[in-house]
Structure 1
Amino acid sequence: MTSKGPEHALILCRDTGKRVGDAGCLDSDLKGRNRADRCMGMPAAGRLLRMGGSGGPTNMGIDEALATLCRDVATLRFYAWEAPTLSIGYSQRSSDIDPAACRKSTVHLVRRPTGGRAVLHQQDLTYSLILPLRPPWTKISIAESYHQINVCLLRGLETLGLKVRVGSRPRQVNGALSPFCFPAISQDEVLVGRKKVIGSAQRRFPTALLQQGSILLDFDPAGILDLLRPSDRAAAAGAFETVGSLREALGWLPDRLEVETAIRNGFSEEMGIEFVEGELRPEEFRLSVELAATRYGSEDWTFRR
């Protein structure tokens, strides 16, 4: 994708924190930065949160609480969903989705704190990365930070035996007009072959960088189109040819814990941070509960646009 408008989404969307929208990652050359440069000012130890399934409001509340209260320690969180959930981007129009169809399919709906397009969380592993907003992250562009995080994801998938690459230029595909994240192919994306297996979105808070992402363990487009309004289904029908999954690429369905470990190792290798298993702090838990109740569980928030 090439547009930088607030309604334009892509696999790795970026934002300044003032206007949470979507934009493409520009090609950037970080090869000259060694690990010490990339991790300057970053503690050698980070926190790993392995969490089970929760509702959409709880998951979004936790991620925002982690970003809001982040000060010194990087956090990598893996989580699941207690029911199939469609998350839509901060600036995405709710009219892209048919709420009645979601209810009929027992698919929950939640609006994310980050940008991007809609993602159906059903056969995926969801991650969030929270980094203190300090050097080097304050010294590089958002495009560079996206490239850097992409390389971490790439390294992780490589340890599973996958041949992965970061796309160097945008491609025009049927997904350009889709309200869903995964059919859209853009520049600087993590690809297996010519297919997209990770969709992510980033936002910068006053003290932290938050990136949320979905890694497709498996993928079945059946039923996804039913979540659109009937008038939009035909146009989106051919948009999923460029969507892949780890199951398709590997030939088997990988264990969720195995993928978590691979991604964690990719971040540790590239960032020089050892992510040690931990838990939410009491103040993070309290704020997450408040956000889940007053924002992410509110229809005023979900249908704000």
Structure 2
Amino acid sequence: MHSSGRLLKTDASSGPLNMGIDEALTTLCGDSAILRFYTWEAPTLSIGFSQRSADIDLATCRTFTMPVVRRPTGGRAVLHQWDLAYSLILPLCPSWAKISIAESYRRINACLLRGLEMLGLEVSVARRPKPADEALASFCFPAISQHEVLVGGKKVIGSAQRRFPAALLQQGSILMDFDPTGILDFLRQTERVAAAGNLEMVGSLRDALGRLPSRGEIETAIRDGFSAEMGIEFVEGQLRPEEFRLSVELAATRYGSADWTFRR
């Protein structure tokens, strides 16, 4: 018998509001799992919770008026331009609280794998990590972690996780399309030449399928993958008023703050 969870498909928002929504949902989730899909109102560079802001070329970000936001989860920098983002919030009930981060990552990746299979893709799991080239070490997609989901041997989903007092939050980016020059522009200048030929491990759904799937098609497949693997029926709904209020507050006081973004 399936338990019930919430499915949220939110409109394109700014980086600070997107991050505020995820933290608000994690804080207020109660005992319900939440799966959220979202996009970005403008291309945005997100960096990990503990990542150094000096890992990216901030001068180029200013030149291109590229917003930079620090995520509440870990990992490396991601350029959000041709991706569909997902967030999974799981209350820390005993079954999830007692397992390691590595094991929870493996279980969630099994859901993502099932979802990509439902899109008609041949998918595999990375058995051992593959570090990124040194020049690309600041960015998420060129590095492959153990249990990472691969399509044709290439990484099409990057994810990061963090545990809050009440719930686990995993944020991820699904590459619908990919242009390697996008990443190269925001590397430090001394690293760009070295990095130019080292993006062969990054793929996209367009490349794998030979067409660009719609957002709705991806959302349905990934939702069904989570439902099949976790036994949760995700029922579509909306942000609740108290969730939206906290999201806006967090966007203004934390995720839109230079003190937060450039604190490291």
TM-score normalised by length of structure 1: 0.84
Which shifted more, 43-52 or 187-196? Answer: 43-52
Aligned to 1:295: 254
Structure-to-structure mapping, 1:85-164, within 5 angstroms: 85-164=44-123
Is the contact made by 1:84 and 1:106 (CA closer than 8 Å) also made in structure 2?
no
Amino acid at match of 1:79: Y
Amino acid at match of 1:106: T
Residues 157-180 of structure 1, C-alpha deviation per residue, up to 9 Å, x if partnerless?
A: 001110001111123552685211
1:236 and 2:195 are equivalent in the alignment: yes
Aligned length: 264
Which shifted more, 217-226 or 234-243? Answer: 234-243
User: How far apart, in 2, do the equivalents of 1:118 and 1:49 lie?
Assistant: 25
Amino acid at match of 1:156: G
User: How far apart, in 1, do the equivalents of 2:70 and 2:220 lie?
Assistant: 28
Aligned to 2:223: 264
Q: CA deviation at 1:197?
A: 0.4
SS of structure 1 residue aligned to 2:103: helix
Aligned to 1:278: 237
Select 2:214's aligned residue among 237, 255, 280: 255
Amino acid at match of 1:155: R
Select 2:161's aligned residue among 202, 207, 216: 202
Select 2:11's aligned residue among 52, 72, 78: 52
1:81 and 2:33 are equivalent in the alignment: no
User: How far apart, in 2, do the equivalents of 1:227 and 1:170 lie?
Assistant: 24
User: How far apart, in 2, do the equivalents of 1:173 and 1:114 lie?
Assistant: 20
Is the contact made by 1:75 and 1:129 (CA closer than 8 Å) also made in structure 2?
yes
| Cα-Cα RMSD | 1.4
Amino acid at match of 2:233: E
TM-score normalised by length of structure 2: 0.96
SS of structure 2 residue aligned to 1:106: coil
Distance 1:177-1:216 versus aligned 2 partners, 3 A rule:
closer
User: How far apart, in 1, do the equivalents of 2:141 and 2:159 lie?
Assistant: 10
Structure 2 gaps of 5+ residues are none
Aligned to 1:189: 148
Q: CA deviation at 1:298?
A: 0.4
User: How far apart, in 2, do the equivalents of 1:245 and 1:268 lie?
Assistant: 23
Which shifted more, 171-180 or 238-247? Answer: 171-180
Aligned to 2:130: 171
Distance 1:172-1:101 versus aligned 2 partners, 3 A rule:
closer
Distance 1:216-1:57 versus aligned 2 partners, 3 A rule:
same
SS of structure 1 residue aligned to 2:72: coil
Amino acid at match of 1:147: R
Residues 120-173 of structure 1, C-alpha deviation per residue, up to 9 Å, x if partnerless?
A: 000000000001110210122221111100000000000111000111112355
Is the contact made by 2:126 and 2:149 (CA closer than 8 Å) also made in structure 1?
yes
SS of structure 2 residue aligned to 1:117: coil
Which shifted more, 149-158 or 166-175? Answer: 166-175
Is the contact made by 2:135 and 2:195 (CA closer than 8 Å) also made in structure 1?
no
Is the contact made by 1:176 and 1:184 (CA closer than 8 Å) also made in structure 2?
no
User: How far apart, in 1, do the equivalents of 2:67 and 2:199 lie?
Assistant: 22
